[in-house]
Amino acid sequence: MEKVILLRPYFSHTIWGGERLRDEFGYDEPGNDIGECWGISAHPSGESIVMCGEFEGLKLSKLWDSRRDLFGNAPGDRFPLLVKIIDARDDLSIQVHPDDEYASVHENGSFGKKECWYVLDCPEDGHIVLGHNAADREELESMIDEGRFDELIRKVKIRKGDLVQIDPGCVHAITAGVCVLETQQSSDITYRLYDYGRLQNGKPRELHLDKSKDVITVPDPSASERIRRAPEDAENEPVRLISCDRYEVSRVKVNGECTFGTTAGFICASVINGSGHVHDTPVVKGSHMLITAEGAKTVRMTGNMEVILSDV
């Protein structure tokens, strides 16, 4: 059994995207509007493809369906995670996601969308939209209906290295200059609440106000409950960033060599800085891979690099 399977990402071109994903991560993708790199994805909206080895050319969804042993025989009718790098040249729309129950009923059986962001870069005074200020649902609906979004949204300062948890029902937006690695449920369901009046192909982008009102959490938890930070000096062992009912996310800073055991059936891994090897597979900044059931038992990494890991 192969221990590491490298994946070729899918790229999403967006109204707010830029060139950083090509210039800083080395992706061979044309255009100046590259908004998202779907590094590890089996979602039909954009799939990763195996780059080399026995399964070269196979979509991740097909690998999941045909070789479940590679994933520790994990249950489920679809691959559960989606890992992205998002580059915001401009502000993203203010949005909210549904939970599994709402999405199953209203979005043709889709997963809901719980996600987290690891901040790769941001301006010195960087911030995100995280939550809202409405005291109750009546005030929330009034603010939305009257377009009082400056009053509604909560802006929160962030730093490089922050981990931000975005639960379903949380109003949120990435802002200009911010770059994150996002780990999420395998879902492409987003309800757009506000888009600054922008036009795409001469027309405003669709808003989803009624569904947004349905799913927004009221009252809103404090932002401090959603942001955490790992120790800066931790090296050569995984440091847990977040653990929830849909995923666990860790960071490992490799300096020389590290080896660690896991109980995961499989691991999603993305190199966000540096280069080295995962088992015997050479990797560089921007590499995305599946560490299979065999490789996940005892993971060996060498080099000088920073890697984000996730599993279920």
Residue numbers annotated as active site:
192
Q: Which two tokens stand for residue 16?
A: 């707010």
Closest to 117 in 3D by CA, of 173, 40, 45, 177: 173
d(CA 240, CA 225): 16
Closest to 96 in 3D by CA, of 191, 219, 205: 191
d(CA 237, CA 301): 10
What would the DSSP string read from start to end of 197-252?
T-EETTEEPP--HHHHHHH--SSPPPGGGGEEE--TT--SS-EEEEE-SS-EEEEE
d(CA 170, CA 243): 18
